[in-house]
Amino acid sequence: MYRLHCIFLVCFSALLTSQLFAVTAPAKIYRACLDRPTFTLTVSLSTPTDACGSFVYHRLYGREDAFSPWKLLKQTSTLNTNTINAVLPNTKAWEVFVSTSFACNGIDTLVSNRVLVDNQAPAQFEPDSVSVEFTTQRVVAGWKKPIDPDVLGYSLFKLVAGGNALIKDTFSTFYRFDTATFNPRTGNNSFSIAAFDSCLNGGLLSDYHSPINLLVQKDSKYWCSKKTVLKWTKYKGWTAGSYSVWRQCLADGTWQMIGSVIADLTNDPTTYDFTDIGYETNKQYYYVVRAIKNMGSTTSTSNRVFIDYTFSGNAAPISVITGASVVGEDLVRLDITWKKDGPSSLLSIEKKTATGWLGIHTSTIAGNITYNDATTKTNAEFAEYRLIRTNDCGLKDDSSFLHNTMLLVDNQRVVSWNKHVGWANLAITTNYDYHLEHRSGFTWNTLYSGSATSYTLPTNLYGNQVFRVKIYSTDGKLPSSYELYSNERVIYLGFDSSAFDTTLIPSAFNPSGINTVFKISNPAIGPGESTVSIFNRWGELLFQGDALLGWNGTDSQGREVPQGTYVYLIQASYRNKKARYSGTLLMIK
């Protein structure tokens, strides 16, 4: 009895183990794919494990429609297989399932799910557009995911020698090609696309799409003709209703649509053209053309083309005034350099007048020029000059920076001059100071150096003196020997009366006679630098005033005083000295 009990326990344990690890679930079919050219069916599935060793075989059954009986297509004794292959008699819409024999009980057959055979490739579809990316200048393509739910990815092709070359399989709906595959600066970049499904069935190729290829040709005399011709190939792949022409100015980055060309859908030309007459010389631009899909908003952008409309590639002018200097009375020397545009180009020297700019000289000789202008009153005005170049087209295409002369003027003992203009611009930038010079014989001596434009002359200068202002480069940008001058100013500074410092005081005067006023005389004493006070014999103050103007014999009320002797007190403060005189005077009537 004990032994039987043990046998029962062992059997029960084995039965429990088989239930835990047995083949208890059917195989699961993921997909059933048909290779149409060979009629080969491939069923992808997952199979269970067989812990109890009850598995015998998998059988693949199929029927070509819902009304046909099931047929055994293939049998395999491999348990853990991922695929079962079979050859079908036709390419109809077959339905398949897999049965597995047996479960661990050795009796039951397990049946998988039923799956329709995928015998249809994805439908043909078109990319949205093929364009050239502005920043990278690489060809890019974009498309929307097709409606077909069984689209796994996309195959990208390039037309090469009449055949299709596979470029890439991708799962994305956007692709940026390298320039080795598609060069945006050349034409015939034909691209097509086809979808493939989970069975890797490839659909039909789309139409060929080619982006616009833009060529821009500026006229050899673009600054004269103001004409640049743009030519481009039409967009290939969908019908463009129009093309818009765009231009970007590199100076400020602004975009401008400069024209629109309606597509000729009747004659269907392969190329279009547009003439740009609105650009500005001495600027640089990018050009692009955009195709706009007919009856839609889809667009495609061409490659960009860079055009440089500058002459020298330098923002600084090529006509330059180096200096304007007063070299004589009413004579100004101009030092000039300029570059010819062509045989007919002309340089005009212009001077600013009260009515505007006036041409004073023209030259067809390029290079360095010295010109003497005798139209400026150098002691009464300063002059402003500029250069204007007229090119071979008859257009004024270059202007120099302004340059002016310096005018030295005086007011009492303060001299001043206008600020120099001409050595602080893109053409010439150099450091300099103003040097006020005084001529002594044949030698010029510097009185002042600095950036100020006025100076008070010292008090030890008298008579007619000659001054001028000079500047020169102090940083080596120009030769230090190259100097510019103002006019030479002759200024009368009075005379030195210190040698005549003698005070004459009369002893009598007659208000009604010849000597009518009692006053002093001294060339060294100026107005307001002396006073005279008049007292009577009792010490009363009768008058006080400027000693140079004197006393006319009246008191502070304007009444005449009687004839007689009076006391005077004279005080003077001049030339850093003081003087005092006192005495008596006789007034006679």
Q: Is residue 567 part of a domain?
A: yes
Same domain, 358 and 370: yes
282 close to 309: Cβ distance less than 8 angstroms: yes
Q: Is residue 415 part of a domain?
A: yes
Q: Is residue 3 part of a domain?
A: no
Same domain, 334 and 396: yes
Per DSSP, the residues of 458-473 read: PTT--SEEEEEEEEE-
* 262-281 mean pLDDT: 95
Kindly state the percentage of the chain with pLDDT values over 90: 74
pLDDT band at 498 (very low <50, low <70, confident <90, very high): low
Same domain, 387 and 454: yes
Same domain, 321 and 468: yes
Which of 447, 472, 495 corresponds to the end of one domain? 495
First to last CA, the chain: 187
At 395-428, the pLDDT tens digits run: 787 899 999 999 999 998 999 999 999 999 989 9
Same domain, 298 and 334: no
Same domain, 332 and 437: yes
At 177-199, the pLDDT tens digits run: 999 999 999 888 999 999 999 99
Quickly tell me which residue has 């009492």 as its tokens: 412
Q: Is it the case that residue 108 has pLDDT exceeding 60? A: yes
Comparing 460-464, 478-482, 541-545, which segment has the lowest mean pLDDT? Answer: 460-464
Alpha-carbon span 362 to 349, nearest angstrom: 6
Q: What is the pTM of this model?
A: 0.51
Same domain, 333 and 356: yes
Q: Return the CATH number at 66.
A: 2.60.40.10
* Residues spanned by the domain of 238: 214-308
Q: For residue 497, what is the DSSP state?
A: G
129 close to 142: Cβ distance less than 8 angstroms: yes
If one counts the domains in the chain, the total is 5
User: Which long-range contacts link 9-18 to residues 24+ away (Cβ below 8 Å)?
Assistant: 17/51, 17/52, 18/51, 18/52, 18/104
Which of 450, 477, 495 corresponds to the end of one domain? 495
- Provide the strand spans (E) within 219-376: 228-233, 240-249, 255-262, 271-276, 284-293, 299-301, 305-308, 319-328, 331-338, 346-353, 356-363, 367-373
Neighbours of 475 (CB within 10 A): 10
Peptide bond into 8 cis (omega under 30): no
DSSP strand pairing (483-485 vs 489-492): unpaired
Neighbours of 560 (CB within 10 A): 13
Alpha-carbon span 383 to 352, nearest angstrom: 7
Q: Which residues contact 66 (CB under 8 A, 6 or more apart)?
A: 95
- Tokens representing 267? 């004659």
Question: Residues in the chain, how many?
Answer: 589
At 126-173, the pLDDT tens digits run: 999 999 999 999 999 999 999 988 999 999 999 998 889 999 999 999
Alpha-carbon span 427 to 411, nearest angstrom: 36
pLDDT band at 7 (very low <50, low <70, confident <90, very high): very low
For residue 546, give Cα distances in angstroms to 103, 451, 560, 568, 569. 146, 43, 19, 13, 12
